[in-house]
């Protein structure tokens, strides 16, 4: 599907609203890392992935693996926005008998294809799915979203070695490089150095996206990755944790925090105001 800037930005705004609503229904949740990938999910679900909300299990669908499984609310927000299930269900996050657990679960939620929640494991799962597609001669893509803090897990790099060795060009990896993890800035907890150089050394085609909260830049990166037929691609998204909502973008630590129902209306207005200016001045600048 062609890229339409206006449509994608509106979808990203809708996803952010849904994220805030979802977390507000419980009062607390993984706000920061959900908001930081809203634009990526808008692009993937809006105009990139071969998926059908009316038939979540269709055989030739592309897969999205959110290895940073705590960003489940972002995925649910996107799935609801695309009509996989009724938006009212968003208000059941983490409540008894919900189909929306904090971490993504393929057996519980329509549209979720891989269960994650122990960091690093999604990298291998995604590589396995892409490897099976490669063996089957399938033209499907598998998309993988890793957190930057998650790169501290050794399994990510085992999977990276395998992905490069088997030249899984049908696996497109995103790193949500928002620079923060639960306990603080990644540079203070355990420095990652240059994420780009590390993946390059592992044999990846590296695409660095200066503003990982800009739908146009994300879309262009995905197209570049899909055109690359030699090496597997990684898209390093330089994002803002809590992007799109000033309160969270400016919060020192918004990994898991509260969203009050009373604040929702003001957040929605703040987001609606971004529809015309591409999000300028709202904490989405990289």
Contact residues for another protein (CB under 8 A)? 63, 105-107, 113-118, 121, 123-133, 135-136, 154-155, 158-159, 161-162, 165
Distance, CA of 264 to CA of 88 (rounded, Å): 15
118 Cβ contact partners less than 8 Å away, ≥ 6 residues apart: 69
Q: By the 8 A CB rule, do 78 and 130 touch?
A: no
Q: Pairing state of beta strands 142-147 and 171-177?
A: parallel
Choice between 42 and 159, CB closer to another protein: 159
Choice between 166 and 226, CB closer to another protein: 166
Distance, CA of 142 to CA of 172 (rounded, Å): 6
- Least distance (Å) between residue 155 CB and another protein: 5
**Alpha helix segments (H runs only) across 118-263:** 121-136, 154-165, 186-189, 195-201, 215-227, 246-249
- Least distance (Å) between residue 116 CB and another protein: 8
- Least distance (Å) between residue 144 CB and another protein: 10
- Least distance (Å) between residue 117 CB and another protein: 6
255: tokens are: 């990994």
Choice between 67 and 274, CB closer to another protein: 67
- Least distance (Å) between residue 161 CB and another protein: 7
Q: By the 8 A CB rule, do 63 and 285 touch?
A: no
Choice between 122 and 244, CB closer to another protein: 122
Choice between 113 and 176, CB closer to another protein: 113
């Amino acid at each position: 599907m062609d890229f339409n800037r206006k449509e994608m930005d509106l979808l990203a705004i809708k996803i952010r609203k849904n994220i805030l609503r979802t977390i507000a229904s419980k009062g607390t949740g993984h706000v920061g890392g959900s908001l930081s990938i809203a634009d990526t999910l808008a692009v993937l679900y809006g105009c990139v992935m071969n998926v059908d909300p009316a038939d979540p299990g269709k055989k030739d669908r592309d897969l999205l693996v959110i290895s940073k499984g705590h960003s489940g609310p972002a995925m649910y927000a996107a799935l609801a926005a695309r009509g996989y299930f009724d938006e009212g269900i968003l208000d059941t996050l983490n409540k008894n008998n919900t189909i929306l657990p904090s971490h993504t679960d393929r057996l519980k939620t329509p549209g979720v294809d891989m269960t994650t929640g122990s960091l690093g494991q999604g990298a291998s799962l995604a590589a396995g799915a892409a490897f099976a597609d490669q063996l089957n001669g399938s033209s499907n893509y598998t998309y993988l979203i890793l957190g930057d803090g998650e790169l501290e897990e050794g399994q990510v790099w085992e999977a990276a070695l395998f992905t490069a060795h088997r030249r899984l060009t049908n696996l497109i990896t995103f790193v949500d490089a928002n620079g923060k993890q639960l306990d603080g800035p990644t540079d203070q907890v355990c420095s990652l150095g240059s994420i780009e150089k590390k993946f390059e050394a592992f044999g990846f085609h590296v695409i660095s996206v200066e503003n990982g909260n800009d739908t146009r830049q994300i879309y262009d990166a995905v197209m570049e990755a899909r055109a690359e037929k030699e090496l597997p691609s990684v898209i390093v998204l330089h994002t803002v944790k809590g992007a799109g909502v000033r309160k969270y973008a400016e919060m020192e630590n918004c990994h898991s925090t509260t969203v009050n129902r009373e604040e929702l209306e003001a957040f929605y207005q703040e987001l609606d105001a971004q529809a015309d200016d591409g999000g300028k001045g709202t904490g989405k600048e990289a």
